[in-house]
């Protein structure tokens, strides 16, 4: 068994063309991203000049203690995390929100609320601020009543809020909206496992290649060959993704967060999805390998595009008009998972991503397995 694994491993890693598509191309693309807007992104978000997120504050009912405390809370962080704009009417605020001149509207009332125009990093921070306030409302009310000037200091101690702000202030890189491109890039790289597995499927199916026929008539059980191939492909592609992670973190200097076990888990699921997708696709129809590899470019780039690989705001547009696509597009789910891991520490949403990825992995592995387990064919 080890003998067969060894040779199959050699065969896969020596297939430089497929490895280029699975690893080399995403690395080159990442380098281009970095060169094209890496520095620009940092400047635009202000590593050295952070002005805060522009918001409007609508005072609907300031009679209650909670509303007063929330207003104090907002005023204390004005100029730091947020930048309250001088807008007096809700109509004007909504109009500016639509024009993206402000990114959110806080409503000061008994139960404070927030309206945002879209989903993105800054909107996530605004949401997180409100959430942090709600979770710690009684404490903040007390501080607001006695020492309002100490609110920012108190906020620093509050975990959810601190995590977001810490990410923002720790050099500003994570605030770079362009970092989303790198998450989409890793997601795309995960799907690029398709190239490795399409090729491997050709090598294993008697109706697709002479090599597949030769391997199918040996006394080694087909299930053994399939599982061996799948295992090796997932491991090899997992290593590819780890190399890409290292390149992005160590060479390009983009943080993927500190939660290494979760990062590895997402990488593993992403690799599994890419490989299984390729196997399932590889055994459909009897097209030439060249055509299938051509189509593989489409089935990796299209989800990547929809996840924001070429146009950063794509995922938000889809979220507004057809959110289901973001739930079923593996690249979008993977990119979200990397985002929640490295920037916006939302455990619930991260777990939702993990669940979706787990379902996708298992589902695709089952489909792939059913596709390649055939031992006899109608035509060869």
Partner 1 sequence: MIQIQNLVKRYGDLVALDHLNLTIKEGEVFGLLGPNGSGKTTAINCLLSLLRYDKGSITIFGKEMHPDSYDIKKQIGVVMQNVAVFEQMNVQENIDYFCGLYVKDKEKRKELVEEAIRFAGLEDFRKMRPKKLSGGLLRRLNIACGIVHKPRLIIMDEPTVAVDPQSRNKILEGILELNRQGSTIIYTSHYMEEVEQICSRIAIIDHGRVLATGTKEELKRMIKTGETITIEAIVLDDTTLSEIRQLPHVFDISYEEQTLKVRLSSAKHNLIRVLHYLQEQDISFGRVFSELPTLNDVFLEITGKELRD
Residues that bind partner 1 (CB under 8 A): 3-4, 7, 10-12, 14-15, 203, 206, 209-211, 213-222, 375-380
Residue with Cβ nearer partner 1 (158 or 213): 213
> Minimum distance from CB of 219 to partner 1 (Å)?
4
Which residue from 378, 183, 164 is spatially nearest to 263, judged by alpha carbons?
183
CA distance 270 to 201: 19
251 DSSP 8-state letter:
I
CA atoms within 13 A on the CB side of 162: 9
- Write down the least CB distance from residue 196 to partner 1, Å: 12
Enclosing H/E stretch for 94: helix 90-98
Give the nearest distance from C-beta 130 to partner 1 in angstroms: 56
Mark residue 44 as left, alpha or beta (left: phi above 0; alpha: psi -120 to 50; beta: remaining).
alpha
User: What does the alpha-carbon distance between residue 308 and residue 341 come to, in Å, rounded to a whole number?
Assistant: 17
Do the strands 53-59 and 104-108 form a parallel or antiparallel pair, or are they unpaired?
Answer: parallel
Q: How far is CA 48 from the centre of its chain?
A: 27
Using the minimum distance from each CB to partner 1, give the nearer residue, 188 or 202.
Answer: 202
Spell out the residues 6+ positions from residue 135 whose beta carbon is closer than 8 angstroms to its own. Answer: 158, 160
* Residue 190: CB minimum distance to partner 1, A: 23
Phi–psi pair at 104, nearest 5 degrees = -165, 160
Nearest residue (CB) to partner 1, 20 versus 305: 20
Q: Give the count of beta carbons closer than 10 Å to the beta carbon of residue 41.
A: 22
Q: Tell me the closest approach of the beta carbon of residue 134 to partner 1, in angstroms.
A: 58
11 or 159, CB closer to partner 1?
A: 11
Q: Which is nearer to partner 1, 293 or 332 (CB)?
A: 293
Which residue, 220 or 347, is less far from partner 1 as judged by CB?
A: 220
Angle formed by the axes of helices 121-135 and 159-169, nearest 10°? 150
CB of 16 to partner 1, least distance (A): 9
How far apart are CB 277 and partner 1 at their closest, in Å?
23
As given in the structure block, the two tokens for residue 287 are 């097209």
Shortest gap between Cβ of 17 and partner 1 (angstroms)? 10
Nearer to partner 1, 12 or 280 (CB): 12
Report the alpha-carbon distance of residue 235 to residue 240 in Å, rounded.
Answer: 9
Q: Is the dihedral of CA 130, 136, 138, 144 positive or negative?
A: negative
> Closer to partner 1 at the Cβ: 18 or 42?
18
């Amino acid at each position: 068994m080890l003998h067969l694994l060894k040779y199959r491993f050699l065969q896969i890693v020596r297939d430089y063309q497929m490895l280029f598509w699975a690893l080399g191309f995403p690395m080159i693309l990442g380098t281009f991203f970095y060169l094209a807007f890496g520095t620009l992104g940092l400047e635009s978000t202000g590593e050295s000049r952070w002005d805060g997120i522009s918001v409007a504050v609508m005072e609907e009912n300031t009679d209650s203690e909670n509303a007063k405390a929330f207003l104090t809370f907002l005023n204390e962080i004005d100029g730091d995390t947020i930048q309250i704009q001088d807008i007096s009417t809700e109509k004007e605020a909504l109009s500016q929100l639509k024009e993206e001149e402000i990114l959110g509207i806080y409503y000061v009332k008994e139960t404070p609320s927030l309206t945002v125009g879209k989903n993105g990093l800054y909107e996530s921070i605004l949401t997180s601020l409100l959430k942090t306030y709600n979770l710690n409302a009684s404490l903040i009310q007390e501080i607001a009543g006695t020492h309002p000037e100490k609110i920012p200091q108190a906020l620093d101690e509050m975990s959810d809020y601190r995590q977001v702000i810490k990410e923002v202030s720790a050099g500003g890189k994570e605030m770079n909206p362009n970092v989303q491109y790198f998450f989409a890039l890793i997601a795309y790289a995960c799907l690029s496992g398709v190239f490795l597995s399409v090729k491997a499927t050709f090598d294993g199916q008697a109706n697709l290649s002479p090599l597949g026929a030769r391997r199918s008539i040996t006394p080694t059980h087909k299930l053994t060959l399939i599982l061996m191939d799948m295992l090796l492909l997932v491991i090899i592609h997992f290593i590819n993704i780890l190399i890409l992670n290292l390149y992005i973190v160590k060479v390009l200097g983009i943080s993927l967060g500190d939660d290494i076990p979760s990062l590895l888990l997402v990488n593993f699921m992403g690799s599994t999805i890419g490989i299984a997708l390729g196997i399932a696709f590889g055994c459909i129809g009897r097209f030439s390998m060249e055509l299938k590899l051509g189509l593989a470019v489409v089935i990796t780039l299209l989800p990547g595009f929809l996840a924001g690989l070429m146009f950063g705001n794509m995922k938000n547009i889809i979220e507004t008009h057809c959110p289901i696509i973001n739930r079923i597009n593996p690249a979008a789910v993977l990119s979200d998972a990397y985002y929640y891991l490295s920037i916006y520490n939302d455990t619930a949403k991260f777990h939702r991503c993990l669940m979706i990825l787990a379902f996708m992995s298992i589902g695709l592995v089952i489909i792939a397995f059913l596709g390649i387990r055939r031992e006899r064919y109608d035509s060869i």
